[in-house]
Amino acid sequence: MMMQHCKKILKEINSRNKINLRNSQRFINTSKANLKIVRCKLFDIGEGISEVEITQWNKQVGDEVSEMESLLTVQSDKAAVDITSKYSGILVKKYANDKDMIKIGSYFCEIDTQDDVGEEEGEEVDEAKEVEGVDEVEEASFEKKANPTNVKASPGTKKKAQEYKLDINAIAKHFNKNNITIEDVELYYKENKSDEINKSANEKMDIMEEVQVKGIKLSMCKSMNDSLSIPLFHLNEAYNVERVVKIRKELKNKIAESDSGINNITISSILIKLISNTLKEFPILNSKFNAKTNTYVVYNNHNICIAMDTPHGLLVPNIKNVEKKNIIDIQKELLNLRNKAMEMKLSKDEIENGTITISNYGAIGGTFATPIIFDNQGCIIGISKIQNMISLKNGVNKISSLDDLEIANNMNITYGADHRYIDGATLAQFSKKLKSVIENIDTIDPFSI
């Protein structure tokens, strides 16, 4: 009876302490006396992003910070974003360093504002330091733990543990129980044996490093996982690009004499424009599919994504409204996006709302690839490197003599399409049309849409 009475009293005291603690916390949260240190929280930056990587701190501890000045730059799986300060003051503490991942809604630094900051301004203030007589209280844990000195096991169980050279107390601690059975011993042995085997195998391997996939590469990982659910149809065609190569040289000389602001034209810029022109006859390829509603949206805008290899990983910005741009405009935007991608300064607008993708893997090397759909788009176009090959002369469909052959610049273009709503015939017709345009082009005005 005495023991039960004591437990009842202890329970009542603990309950009262919780009430007092809640009252104290309520007082702390509403007090506004002597407030100086404000903790900055990373608010939602949109598009369902849950965490970001810190690419660099633009301010260090001890630096003065002005309102709306950039504190740090973060990289989501889509774009780089500058996080600005809502307050003026001195940066006194950082909760994370460069290359760390931080979650949306978590605190990332503290700023000494040198004046009072109220709760209505949206940031939580570390006030407990300014309120005397308030201590942090950790509630007692009453979870029952296994007592290593009071482990019970049958002789057979102890013998089995000895056979496996296992510590019976370690097993009790692992399962958080005092009564150990033979089944517990067997299970513990299997778990630890598996760990030992893996450990032994890893010790034999000369591992260079283990890398956490995050940031841009995590975005690519997610995108490729999503693409696994899309039934792809691939089509490959060899294109004679002899005329395009010739026209590119002519355009390069023409542009050098103009005041366009650039001194070069790439094959990529010409192909982007020719692809856009051909898309007008096959608008279904410039679309996105919604699996939830089994509908697809066809876009008038040709926002063509360009896959770019950077030291930070694969980035896929897009050139907006290519159908309304000339080759000069396209070349300028390509250069601009490339420079921004290399410096991790692409904006969200430059990353989002693409409608079709071009992967020019041939700029690095490779004569054939099977590109994967990006961002639920209907089509992706893979372009190989240009190489000299024996091919039919332009306009010749059948070999009658060696005179029908020539050594010319050729490239392979491979298409990948969402076969849920784009059929093979449509893709073949698009390829046939583009092939005709590329192989029969005589000239192109770089200043004309």
| Model pLDDT for residues 297-310, shown as the tens digit of each residue | 999 999 999 999 99
The residue to which tokens 């449509």 are assigned: 426
Closest CA to 326 of 379, 253, 251, 380: 251
pLDDT value of position 160: 87
Contact 360, 380 (CB under 8 A): no
Contact 394, 243 (CB under 8 A): yes
pLDDT value of position 442: 86
Delimiting residues of CATH 2.40.50.100 domain(s) in the chain: 19-130
Q: For residue 252, what are the contacts with CB-CB under 8 A and spacing of at least 6?
A: 264, 265
User: Which stretches of 250-307 are assigned E, i.e. beta strand?
Assistant: 287-290, 295-298, 304-306
* Separation between Cα atoms, residue 435 and residue 46, nearest integer Å: 41
pLDDT value of position 295: 95
Q: pTM surpassing 0.85?
A: no
pLDDT value of position 216: 73
* Separation between Cα atoms, residue 159 and residue 157, nearest integer Å: 5
Contact 242, 309 (CB under 8 A): no
Helix, strand or coil, per DSSP, at residue 411: strand
Length of the chain: 449
* Separation between Cα atoms, residue 284 and residue 426, nearest integer Å: 9
Angle between helices 424-440 and 267-279 (to 10 degrees): 130
pLDDT value of position 163: 87
CATH of the domain spanning 216-440: 3.30.559.10
Which helix (DSSP H) or strand (DSSP E) does residue 246 occupy?
helix 242-256
Helix, strand or coil, per DSSP, at residue 44: coil
pLDDT value of position 222: 80
- Phi–psi pair at 422, nearest 5 degrees: -110, 120
Burial class (CB in 10 A: 0-12, 13-18, 19+), 422: buried
Query: How is the beta sheet containing 51-57 ordered, strand by strand?
Result: 80-84, 70-75, 51-57, 101-103
pLDDT value of position 201: 55
> What residues of the chain score a pLDDT lower than 70?
1-35, 47, 78, 115-149, 194-203
Burial class (CB in 10 A: 0-12, 13-18, 19+), 119: middle
* Separation between Cα atoms, residue 112 and residue 118, nearest integer Å: 14
Delimiting residues of CATH 3.30.559.10 domain(s) in the chain: 216-440
pLDDT value of position 15: 52
pLDDT value of position 136: 32
pLDDT value of position 348: 85
Which tokens in the block code for residue 166?
A: 């296992």
CATH class of 19-130: mainly beta
DSSP secondary structure code for residue 404 in this structure:
G
* Separation between Cα atoms, residue 393 and residue 277, nearest integer Å: 25
* Separation between Cα atoms, residue 96 and residue 102, nearest integer Å: 8
Contact 408, 389 (CB under 8 A): yes
